[in-house]
Amino acid sequence: MDMAWQMMQLLLLALVTAAGSAQPRNARARTDLLNVCMNTKHHKTQPSPEDELCGQKKNACCMTNTSQELHKDTSRLYNFNWDHCGKTEPACKRHFIQDTCLYECSPNLRPWIWQINQSWRKERILNVPLCKEDCERWWEDCRTSYTCKSNWHKGWNWTSGINECPAGALCHTFEPYFPTPAALCEVLWSHSFKMWFDSAQGNPNEEVAKFYAVAMNAGAPSHGTGAVDIGS
């Protein structure tokens, strides 16, 4: 048995074991488990083909204008400024664009979708597995860029209409706020992602999603449905 299959089995076991006793996401949860878009501000209701700006040309949960907008330094999607502590290095910013593309455009995140209650979205992702190597590269590429916070989901000063550092928060290079690659990948967006596997063994996300869909249709309880409050 090769290492890729062993890793996939561990991921499948972790996902099914973590299922617990949560209720289905909604009425379609047991019949429409793949090709699902989150219930958020910018997601489509159903995935469909779009221009290939985020690697999802055949099936995307984002509109073309969404994928175009998220490539900007300050996007109108959320008025979020990557350069809140000075110019972010292009190599660093590239990872944030890829990360946002995954969140906004991927139709394969159903096993990690949780219901929440926020004004701008009713669902979020939690602990989506990311490649260990990608987290390490992201961390290395951002070490010389600057930020003033470790959790970018909340706590910003929005009085100007875009995110600014809160009072008393000092701009430092990424390393003091994110001492390890795992800290960057996992803490940055309130545990939306989890550093789990080695890319040398392949990315099992799609196969995990398929397996999970089969397991759920066979009667296993839904995982990503508990209410989580992460603030605004």
**pLDDT tens digits along 162-185:** 999 999 999 999 999 999 999 999
Give the chain's mean pLDDT. 76
| Beta pairing class for 193-197 and 128-131 | parallel
Neighbouring C-beta atoms of residue 166, cutoff 10 Å: 12
Whether residue 145 is predicted with pLDDT greater than 70 in this model: the reply is: yes
Q: In sequence order, what DSSP letters do the residues of 72-103 get, joined into one string?
A: SSEETTTTEETTBTBPPPHHHHHHHHHHHHHH
**Between 187 and 10, the higher pLDDT residue:** 187
Residue 203 corresponds to which tokens in the numbers above?
């990315």
- Please give the model's pTM, rounded to 2 decimal places: 0.72
Range 99-138 burial, b when 16+ CB lie within 10 A, else e: bbbbbbbbbbbbbbbbbbeeeeeebbbbbbbbbbebbbbb
Mean pLDDT value of segment 84-92:
95
Q: Answer whether 61's CB lies under 8 Å from 47's CB.
A: yes
pLDDT digits (tens, 9 = 90+) for 24-62: 444 344 345 678 899 888 888 888 887 766 766 678 888
Contacting residues for 135 by C-beta, under 8 A, at least 6 apart? 181, 182, 184, 185, 195
Could you tell me which residues come within 8 angstroms of residue 119 by beta carbon, excluding any fewer than 6 positions away?
232
Query: What residue ranges do the domains of the chain occupy?
Result: 29-218
Contacts of 202 (CB under 8 A, 6+ apart): 4, 7
